[in-house]
Amino acid sequence: MFENYYLISCIIIILSFIPFMVMLERRKPHAREIMLVAVLVTITVLSRAVFFMIPFFKPILAFVIISGIGLGARTGLLVGTLSAFISNFMFGQGPWTVWQMLALGLCGFLAGLIFSGRYDEGKLHTVLVCIFGFIAAVVIYGGIMDTYTALLYMGNMTKQSFFAIYLSGLPVNLILGICTVLCLALFTKSMARKLRRVKYKYNM
């Protein structure tokens, strides 16, 4: 089931590229847009690498969310999937990579769907973003990764076994949630302002 995770990871990356490329095909594509996505992926990967000595305290989800808010749901999906795949070359690749790509990509996509309009109107509220970030870390990301754990260690998963695994992983999810909230509180406004300026300056 988990033997071909590299192949599956590449397929997910390709699929996440499709909406981004469709967006570019609808108008004249700009190299600066691809470069901006590459910069966001680099920042997101480095945010995970910098805190490698602190278990589970990783700002990666916060920067994926900010990417989705600043450049839309499709870019959030792309940054999330690429960041998980690339950063795991430092932290270790495995079948969990596919699930992390799905989880981070989904969080970036939802952040773009929920907040991109508010961002464009200049009505982005950091408190709401932080609440979403905490829910994304504990419920969405944590829930997806706990599901992977349950499927990996339990062939016949029941409701009781799933909740037992989720509760055992709750402290880890809470640490990620707290880290995400702190980083969103610190960086959302400043990064959103810069992304907004770049977006309108270059008509992106």
pLDDT in tens, 90-119: 877 777 888 888 899 999 999 998 987 776
Q: Whole-prediction pTM value? A: 0.81
> Is 5-201 CATH 1.10.1760.20?
yes
Nearest to 104 by CA among 174, 48, 182, 38: 48
pLDDT number for residue 33: 72
pLDDT number for residue 61: 94
Give residue limits of the domains in the chain: 5-201
For 16-51, what is each residue's pLDDT tens digit? Answer: 666 655 655 555 546 677 788 888 888 888 888 887
Over pLDDT 70: what percentage of the chain?
A: 78
The chain-wide mean pLDDT, for the chain, equals: 80
Q: Is the pLDDT of residue 167 over 90?
A: no
Higher pLDDT, 129 or 96: 129
> Distance between CA atoms of 32 and 204, rounded to whole angstroms?
9
